Chain A
Amino acid sequence: MSPAMRIGLPFAVVAIVLVAWEIAVRASHTQGLVPLPSGVVHSALALTEDGTLFSALGSSLERVVIGFAIAAAIGIPIGLAIGTVPVLDRTLRPVLDGLRGVAPIAWIPMAILWLGVRGDAALFVVAYAAVFPFILNTSEAARRIPRSLFHAAESLGAGRLLLIRSVVLPGALPFVFTGARIAMAFAWGSIIAAELAIGIKVQTARRAVAGIGQLMVDTLYVRRDVDALVLYMIVIGIVSFLIDSGLRRAQARLMPWTQR
Chain B
Amino acid sequence: MRRSAGLRHFLLSWLEPLSGVVALAVGWQIASMVAANPTLVPPLQTIWGALVDLAHGDLVNDIVASLFHLAGGFGTGAILGLLLALLCARFELVAAVIDPIAEFLRPISAIAWIPIAILLFGVGQGVPMFLIFYASLFPIFVNALDGIRRVDPTLVRAAEMLGASRRLVVTHIVLPAALPAVFAGARLSLGVGWVAMVAGELVGADTGLGYRIEYFQEFFSMEGVMATIVVIGIIGYLLDALLRLLQSSLLRWSPAHGGSR
Contacts and interface: CB of A to CB of B under 8 A. Distances in A.
Interface of A: 1, 5-6, 9-11, 13-14, 17, 35, 87, 90-95, 97-110, 113-114, 129, 188-190, 192-193, 196-197, 200, 216-217, 219-220, 226, 229-230, 232-234, 236-238, 240-241, 244
A101 B40 contact: no
Contacts of B108: 233-234, 236-237, 240
Contacts of A240: 107-109
A110 B114 CA distance: 22
Contacts of A232: 112, 115
Interface of B: 16-17, 19-21, 23-24, 39-40, 92-93, 96-97, 99-101, 104-105, 107-116, 118-119, 194-195, 197-199, 202-203, 210, 213, 216-217, 222, 225-226, 228-229, 232-240
Given A232-B112, A240-B109, 14 more contacts: A13-B97, A17-B101, A97-B237, A99-B233, A102-B229, A106-B228, A129-B195, A190-B111, A196-B199, A232-B115, A233-B116, A236-B112, A237-B104, A240-B108
Nearest to A212: B112
In this complex, the member of A104, A106, A113, A190 whose beta carbon has the largest number of chain B beta carbons within 10 angstroms is A106
A13 B96 CA distance: 9
A109 B216 contact: yes
Contacts of A11: 100
19 contacts: A14-B100, A90-B16, A91-B17, A95-B20, A95-B24, A100-B237, A102-B236, A103-B197, A105-B210, A108-B213, A109-B222, A113-B222, A190-B111, A193-B111, A196-B111, A197-B202, A226-B116, A229-B116, A236-B108
What is the predominant secondary structure among interface residues of chain B facing chain A?
A: helix
B237 A90 contact: no
Nearest to A181: B261
Contacts of A103: 194-195, 197-199, 210, 232, 236
Nearest to A189: B109
Contacts of B96: 1, 5-6, 9-10, 13
A219 B112 CA distance: 13
Contact of B111 (A94, A99, A189, A244): A189
Contacts of B239: 101
B85 to A, nearest CB: 18
B196 to A, nearest CB: 8
Contact of B16 (A9, A87, A244): A87
